Homo-oligomer: A and B are copies of this chain.
């Protein structure tokens, strides 16, 4: 009846199994891609019999949707933290590069999942990711519009700029995910490239607004 940390109730045990299925799927996806893995593989990796899978998800597609949701809640936490950080407005570029690399490194499975499944796999998973990325771009637009040069732009232009930013961040996130664990030199290199790219884009912003 209590909901303490070491819960042994039925509901808590079910939740634990559900999570171990999701973790197993994330782990296997990392090596083969979500669309390539089978229900039986997931069940095996999760230490559960294939039929037990159905107690938690009605199909692999539903599992995929759950993973999309979980991954993007990580992503949203990232942008929320970034907005709270006072450095963000002082120097949005360095702060963004820093936060990007740090958070992605801490959540490789989730970001890897989004980056990988964004353009492949089942339609339902791909569409869910694209919808979430659109939402993410919309959120970033709200942040951008408060920046010095951008306040006066059309909302269409802001969206376009936010899209450029997000797609570039997703690309660099992919590289962080692909990075071998020990290589902090590669990490600095990626951070530096992300920084320079963002600077190029932001410089474009400035010129854009002064032109028109």
Contacts and interface: CB of A to CB of B under 8 A. Distances in A.
Interface of A: 33, 35-36, 115-121, 157, 160-161, 163-164, 167-168, 171, 174, 193, 196-197, 199-208, 211
Nearest to A174: B119
Nearest to A34: B120
A140 B89 CA distance: 34
The number of times this chain is found in the oligomer is 2
A131 to B, nearest CB: 14
A183 B54 CA distance: 41
A158 to B, nearest CB: 11
A206 B207 CA distance: 9
B196 A157 contact: yes
The 8 closest A-B pairs by CB, nearest first: A204-B204, A120-B120, A203-B207, A200-B204, A203-B204, A33-B120, A207-B207, A119-B119
Contacts of A116: 119-120
Contacts of A168: 164, 167
Contacts of A203: 203-204, 207-208, 211
B200 A35 contact: no
A123 to B, nearest CB: 10
A161 B120 CA distance: 27
Given A121-B120, A201-B204, A205-B200, A171 B161 contact: no
A177 to B, nearest CB: 11
